[in-house]
């Protein structure tokens, strides 16, 4: 288990500090349901339903939640979706938590569009519903959303791509390809739309050329966040557009798992190393960041993210009103603007990695050792 480190309350409060921003799209905000009538007390059961372990951050989340929930004086029931049938298994797990009397269900959705029935049951049972890391879509029955600002993750990834191209590929114009996350992950369009808000003007002015012409989320998405799907698509793109000497300067990758798969494909094809972005600060990617193989990643500290959700539960148990933010770029779930606690993602390259990981001894050590 990752060595735990003490994060000062101030640091947690700062990390969960709200960025007051965004105007709502006129939708109502969550919390208008009867969540205020729910009473939570120490010793109550808190259910945590997590998706399958598609990347390291989900593996870490389970232990972080167990530690934080028990330290706060509640009981934890933490369950992961089954890799082979993530949606039905997670639906059943949420129902089982409610049957056991969970007063709060914290949900990292396997597919945020397929939990409408489960969250309706939760509200009928008087439980609080907290969407965690990924939003739950097209329902009013979500009380809060605790996550990093994932639209801003995409903005940071796109800016890193542009910075890396300028640093490593001369003055441009640059040939790039675009990858996005899984279509069943509510975060994936946020990452992509955030990135495209930065890249679209650069495509329009000719700085960036997507040689394949594949510039929509559907073109770029990667089912299940599976490395093999990204590696195959990158290989197909190389065969189709870069086999006759056309240079590939950069690739927008939405997380580290896919970044490593993309780099494997370009290396196997004998292409020069493109500038590739990522996310999640996975331990397998940090040495690649430090030696320049992968240009960037994003640090979203799951310990702080889990702590922010548990702090929210503690606030509610005291009968206090949480300070939340309405940011319709990040927490519009298609029905309501879900009241959110928003944490700030951090862009990491080899230049700032040791500093960025200063509160995480494992990652700091890994970055320092590979400097
Ligand atoms: C997203 C998460 C990302 C990434 C991805 C892959 O929802 O926010 O950090 O890990 O899932 O599972």
Distance 134 CA to ligand 1 centre (A): 8
Convert the pLDDT of each residue in 287-316 to its tens digit: 999 999 999 999 999 999 999 999 999 999
Q: Is residue 145 part of a domain?
A: yes
* Cα dihedral 195/352/285/192 (nearest 10): -10
What is the bridge-based pairing of β-strands 297-299 and 346-348?
A: antiparallel
Domain final residue, candidates 295, 311, 336:
295
The atom number, within ligand 1, closest to the CA of 134 reads 7
pLDDT at 249 over 70: yes
Give the domain range for residue 203. 151-295
Distance 171 CA to ligand 1 centre (A): 32
* Nearest CA owner, ligand 1 atom 10: 55
pLDDT at 37: 67
* Nearest CA owner, ligand 1 atom 9: 280
Please tell me whether residues 13 and 94 are part of one structural domain: yes
Helix 116-124 vs helix 86-99: crossing angle, to nearest 10: 0
Please tell me whether residues 32 and 144 are part of one structural domain: yes
Please tell me whether residues 157 and 188 are part of one structural domain: yes
Please tell me whether residues 128 and 20 are part of one structural domain: yes
The mean-pLDDT minimum among 113-127, 213-227, 320-334 falls in 320-334
Q: Which residue has the higher pLDDT, 30 or 354?
A: 354
Distance 246 CA to ligand 1 centre (A): 32
Distance 63 CA to ligand 1 centre (A): 17
Pocket test for ligand 1, best of 185, 188, 281, 299 (most atoms within 8 A of CB): 185
Please tell me whether residues 15 and 74 are part of one structural domain: yes
Global confidence as pTM: 0.89
The atom number, within ligand 1, closest to the CA of 186 reads 7
Q: Is residue 321 part of a domain?
A: yes
Please tell me whether residues 278 and 170 are part of one structural domain: yes
Q: Is residue 270 part of a domain?
A: yes
Q: Is residue 272 part of a domain?
A: yes
Contact between 50 and 357 (Cβ < 8 Å): no
Contact between 81 and 110 (Cβ < 8 Å): yes
Please tell me whether residues 166 and 276 are part of one structural domain: yes
Please tell me whether residues 163 and 282 are part of one structural domain: yes
Convert the pLDDT of each residue in 309-363 to its tens digit: 999 999 999 999 999 998 888 899 999 999 999 999 999 999 999 999 999 999 9
| Ligand 1 interacting residues, C-beta cut-off 6 A | 54-55, 57, 133-134, 181, 185, 187, 225, 255, 279-280, 300
* Cα–Cα dist 250/108, whole Å: 31
* Cα–Cα dist 106/78, whole Å: 9
Distance 225 CA to ligand 1 centre (A): 8
pLDDT at 19: 39
Distance 57 CA to ligand 1 centre (A): 7
* Cα–Cα dist 354/371, whole Å: 9
pLDDT at 10 over 70: no
Convert the pLDDT of each residue in 73-101 to its tens digit: 999 999 999 999 999 999 999 999 999 99
pLDDT at 102 over 50: yes
The atom number, within ligand 1, closest to the CA of 279 reads 9
Q: Is residue 203 part of a domain?
A: yes
Please tell me whether residues 221 and 337 are part of one structural domain: no
What total number of domains does the chain contain? 2
pLDDT at 52: 95
Please tell me whether residues 258 and 162 are part of one structural domain: yes
Please tell me whether residues 84 and 117 are part of one structural domain: yes
Q: Is residue 353 part of a domain?
A: no
**Closest to 132 (Cα-Cα) out of 117, 120, 115:** 115
pLDDT at 156 over 70: yes
* Cα–Cα dist 224/52, whole Å: 10
pLDDT at 238 over 60: yes
Distance 244 CA to ligand 1 centre (A): 35
Q: Is residue 314 part of a domain?
A: yes
175 beta partners: 209
Domain final residue, candidates 226, 261, 295:
295
pLDDT at 21: 36
Convert the pLDDT of each residue in 32-77 to its tens digit: 444 556 789 999 999 999 999 988 899 999 999 999 999 999 999 9
pLDDT at 29: 67
Query: How many other C-beta atoms lie within 10 A of the C-beta of residue 88?
Result: 13
Q: Mean pLDDT across the chain, nearest whole number?
A: 92
Q: Is residue 268 part of a domain?
A: yes
The mean-pLDDT minimum among 2-16, 145-159, 221-235 falls in 2-16
Which CATH number covers residue 138? Answer: 3.40.50.2300
Please tell me whether residues 80 and 181 are part of one structural domain: no
């Amino acid at each position: 288990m990752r060595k735990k480190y003490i994060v000062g309350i101030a640091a947690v409060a700062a990390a969960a500090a709200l960025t007051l921003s965004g105007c709502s799209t006129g939708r109502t905000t969550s919390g208008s349901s009867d969540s205020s009538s729910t009473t939570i007390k120490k010793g109550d059961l808190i259910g945590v339903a997590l998706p399958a372990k598609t990347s390291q951050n989900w593996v870490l989340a389970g232990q972080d939640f167990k530690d934080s929930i028990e330290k706060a004086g509640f009981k934890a029931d933490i369950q992961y979706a089954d890799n082979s049938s993530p949606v039905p298994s997670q639906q059943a797990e949420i129902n089982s938590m409610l049957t056991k009397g969970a007063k709060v269900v914290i949900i990292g959705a396997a597919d945020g569009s397929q939990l409408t029935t489960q969250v309706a049951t939760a509200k009928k049972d008087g439980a609080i519903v907290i969407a965690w890391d990924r939003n739950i879509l097209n329902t009013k029955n979500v009380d809060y959303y605790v996550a990093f600002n994932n639209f801003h993750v995409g903005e940071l990834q796109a800016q890193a791509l542009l910075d890396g191209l300028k640093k490593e590929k001369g003055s441009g114009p640059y040939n790039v390809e675009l990858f996005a996350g899984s279509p069943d992950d509510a975060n994936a369009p946020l990452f992509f739309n955030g990135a495209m808000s930065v890249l679209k003007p650069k495509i329009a002015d000719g700085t960036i050329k997507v040689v394949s012409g594949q510039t929509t989320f559907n073109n770029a998405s990667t089912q299940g966040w599976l490395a093999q799907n990204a590696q195959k698509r990158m290989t197909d793109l190389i065969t189709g557009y870069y086999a006759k000497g056309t240079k590939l300067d950069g690739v927008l990758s939405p997380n580290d798992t896919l970044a490593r798969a993309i780099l494997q494909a370009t290396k196997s094809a004998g292409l020069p190393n493109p500038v590739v972005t990522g996310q999640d600060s996975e331990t397998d990617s940090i040495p690649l960041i430090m030696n320049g193989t992968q240009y960037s990643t994003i640090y979203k500290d799951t310990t702080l993210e889990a702590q922010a959700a548990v702090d929210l539960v503690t606030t509610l148990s005291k009968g206090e009103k949480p300070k939340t933010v309405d940011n319709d770029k990040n927490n519009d779930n298609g029905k309501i603007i879900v009241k959110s606690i928003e944490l700030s993602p951090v862009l990491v390259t080899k230049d700032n990695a040791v500093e960025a990981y200063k509160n995480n001894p494992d990652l700091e050590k890994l970055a320092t050792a590979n400097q």
